[in-house]
Amino acid sequence: MTTEGEHLEGLNSEQREAAIHTNGPLLIIAGAGAGKTKTITHRIVNLIKNGVLPERILAVTFTNKAAKEMRERIIAEIKKNTNGIHGQDGVPFVSTFHSLGVYIIKEHAKLLGLTRYFTILDEGDATSLIKTILKDIGIDPKQYDPKKIKNIISREKGKFVQIANYTEREGANSLAKIVAQVWSLYEKQKMKENSLDFDDLLLKATRLLKENPEIRKIYQEKWEYIHVDEYQDTNEVQYLMCQMLADNNKNICVVGDADQNIYSWRGANLKNILSFEKDYPDAKIVLLEQNYRSTQNILEAANVVIKKNKFRPDKNLFTKNEKGEKIGLYEALDENDEAEFVVTKILEILDGKANVPRQGLSQADGPRGSALSADRDSDPVEVTYALKSENILSEVAVLYRANFQSRALEETMLKYNIPYQVLGVKFFERKEIKDTLAYLRAALNKDSLSDIKRVINFPARGIGKVTLLKIFANETETLPIKVKIKINNFYQTLEDIKEKIASLKTSEVIKFVLKKSGIENELSSGTEEDAERLENIKELATLALKYDSLEAGRGVEKLLEDASLASDQDSIMINESHKEEKINGVKLMTVHAAKGLEFKYVFITGLEDGLFPHERHGEGESIDHEEERRLFYVAVTRARSKLFLSFANFRTIFGSRNMNAPSEFIADVPTDLLEKEGEDSRIKTIYI
């Protein structure tokens, strides 16, 4: 079998070594920016060049964005390097773990007592259901937080733990007893509604594989070669799923970096990647240490910081990139001063890099020596700049440890008219979008009480809470005739929508729902806010165009699946047709949300002891501390050209103004890599 060829050009020696490995287990330890996606892509193409059918290859990752990028690159390389695609469905199966779970469950839904049109509850829906259950059993949701109970259940499911095991382990403590009672009722209610939550998508798919040898064999034979991205982020259920799929021939390739394990609070188990050689004694290990992303200064800082961690395989990233600028360090008075500094630098980036008319802004000395300032009581400063030459602002990210930190940053961005986007504000979480999708789900799954509850009286049909309770209790015969007619009309609307789903393209179905449900009429005659909501639903129809190529019914099914599984990062990718996503804006996000992304300019804010590293209670301090350091390492390695670090002497948290010490992470960065921002770099006037 030939292993050399044009399809391997452009790979360094280590990447090539991983790409030409064909049979048996393979662990690729890929440092940040080391070209892991490129390596996986070329490995898959090499397998195909050596006669492996594309449809016998599986590649799994964590976000839709990562899966989409990998899928597109693989298909492009296949077309470029092979004579057509083998087989009728000749493409590798590339998906997220959750999408893979959906695929397996839908093929065997009956075994689980489900239909293939089961509803996927998002986090909000699942928490709401638990809140309802608490009320039903006479427990005050204010005393026992539904979200906390949901998180406990989620964590246990991620460990492949069942209710009986949980009860046996936790004993008779009051919280555990309540969790067990709620968990049991929660599972029963989901079965009644033909619905699953996110954790079920992994758990039930893995149980199908574990408890049904014939099903396990189907997928072991279907996918001869398994690729798992971000292996350090897998939990126990994902680990078992991968193990069972690869158990037949051990052709499993996992890619990961112990230094980027930052999701232990979500169940990610670092031991999965650290124990790979123990699980697969014959495994080949390839270390990718050449970084193609960052400058030497940024990379040196990252290396020095992460070497303090003990639970990691030794590696040292290097780069042939230029030395680059030093890392900027700013000591702010408070969070407002810090935000002013960030905006100042963004404006300087625009002024220095953008081809813009020099008109606009004159400012006096800034607070704490910042280059740009304004009286906080004055009118907002109007800033004029051109957005036509480059997507400069889209190359700027401001990272923070906790979501509350975005407030001061957002206020200052607005003050200076800097377009920005906060990751985590997702298109699919808007009320009007959830309402429209709820009509589709209810039409396909009449048992989905949460969806019916959401839309049965939107637009208003005069169906109140008492009537709704009687509907759910199958007591509609006791209702007045006029109310029965309203209910029948609503269910007829769902039937009409279901018929259209089976016959129309996805975008046309959205338009039909808009009219048939009465939403269009309701929002057309409302407020300015209603008009904006209507525009958002129309954008949903535009977004749905990409599903029109799928057969009728399947397009809507895929849209609902993608909407349910959209993550924070997908707010950039999946809504790119939406008007707000077209803004050339600065990205504001937590460090967790930034994982897997990269930007030319990165600001890491709030580097204060107690905030970053973050204080945690009731968990192992040493493990937490190492994870916080990994989190900082991830933040640093998001930057390509310029990195800024900042901390505030005072910060108001939960209404209390606290004095802070700088984060130890700042002291870990070698001083020769840092340059102080502020007093010495003050400028009197900036033109944009």
Residue 364 vs residue 510, higher pLDDT: 510
Residue 475 vs residue 17, higher pLDDT: 17
Per the annotation, the verdict on 476 as an active-site residue is no
The residues near 34 (Cβ < 8 Å, ≥ 6 apart) are: 288, 289, 290, 291, 292, 317
Q: Is the pLDDT of residue 681 over 50?
A: no
Query: Would you state the pLDDT for residue 35?
Result: 93
From the candidates 131, 441, 500, 638, which is the catalytic residue? Answer: 638
Q: Does 552 carry a binding-site annotation?
A: no
Q: Does 339 carry a binding-site annotation?
A: no
Edge-first strand listing for the sheet containing 26-30: 93-96, 57-61, 225-228, 252-256, 26-30, 284-288
Q: Does 30 carry a binding-site annotation?
A: yes
Residue 586 vs residue 529, higher pLDDT: 586
Rg (CA), the chain: 27
DSSP annotation string for 429-440: GSHHHHHHHHHH
Task: Residue 232: name the closest of 583, 558, 595 by CA.
Answer: 595
CATH class of the domain at 6-104+203-288: alpha beta
Mean pLDDT lowest among 154-158, 314-318, 574-578: 574-578
Please state the pTM of the whole predicted model.
0.83
From the candidates 41, 260, 569, 637, which is the catalytic residue? Answer: 260
Average pLDDT over residues 426-444: 90
Q: Does 354 carry a binding-site annotation?
A: no
Contacts 24+ apart (CB under 8 A), 447-450: 447/192, 447/193, 447/194, 447/195, 448/119, 448/193, 448/194, 448/195, 449/192, 449/193, 450/119, 450/121, 450/125, 450/128, 450/129, 450/193, 450/195
Per the annotation, the verdict on 542 as an active-site residue is no
Q: Does 31 carry a binding-site annotation?
A: yes
Q: Does 424 carry a binding-site annotation?
A: no
Q: What percent of the chain has pLDDT over 90?
A: 63
Q: Is the pLDDT of residue 359 over 80?
A: no
85 band by pLDDT with thresholds 50, 70 and 90: very low
CATH class of the domain at 428-570: mainly alpha
Q: Which helix (H) or strand (E) holds 390?
A: none
Q: Does 34 carry a binding-site annotation?
A: yes
571 band by pLDDT with thresholds 50, 70 and 90: low
Q: Mean of the per-residue pLDDT values for the chain?
A: 85
Q: Are strands 327-332 and 586-590 parallel, antiparallel or unpaired?
A: unpaired
Per the annotation, the verdict on 260 as an active-site residue is yes
Which residue type, as a one-letter code, is found at position 372?
A: L
Per the annotation, the verdict on 37 as an active-site residue is yes
The CATH-assigned architecture of domain 119-193 is: Orthogonal Bundle (1.10)
Please determine whether the domains at 6-104+203-288 and 428-570 fall in the same fold group of CATH: no
From the candidates 15, 37, 569, 637, which is the catalytic residue? Answer: 37
The residues near 655 (Cβ < 8 Å, ≥ 6 apart) are: none
Domain-wise residue ranges, the chain: 6-104+203-288, 119-193, 293-353+383-419+584-687, 428-570
Average pLDDT over residues 607-636: 79
pLDDT tens figures, 583-594: 578 999 999 999
pLDDT tens figures, 244-281: 999 998 999 999 999 999 988 888 898 999 999 999 99
Q: Is the pLDDT of residue 166 over 80?
A: yes
Q: Is the pLDDT of residue 575 over 50?
A: no
Using CA atoms, how far apart are residues 673 and 327, in angstroms rounded to an integer? 6
Answer for the pair 623, 584: CB distance below 8 angstroms, yes or no: no
From the candidates 14, 15, 36, 595, which is the catalytic residue? Answer: 36
Q: Is the pLDDT of residue 288 over 70?
A: yes
The CATH-assigned architecture of domain 293-353+383-419+584-687 is: 3-Layer(aba) Sandwich (3.40)
3-state secondary structure of 336: helix
Per the annotation, the verdict on 320 as an active-site residue is no
Q: Is the pLDDT of residue 204 over 70?
A: yes
Q: Does 2 carry a binding-site annotation?
A: no
From the candidates 197, 199, 200, 229, which is the catalytic residue? Answer: 229
From the candidates 77, 224, 230, 259, which is the catalytic residue? Answer: 230
pLDDT tens figures, 136-150: 999 999 899 999 999
Burial of 171 per CB tally in 10 Å (0-12, 13-18, 19+) = exposed
Per the annotation, the verdict on 315 as an active-site residue is no
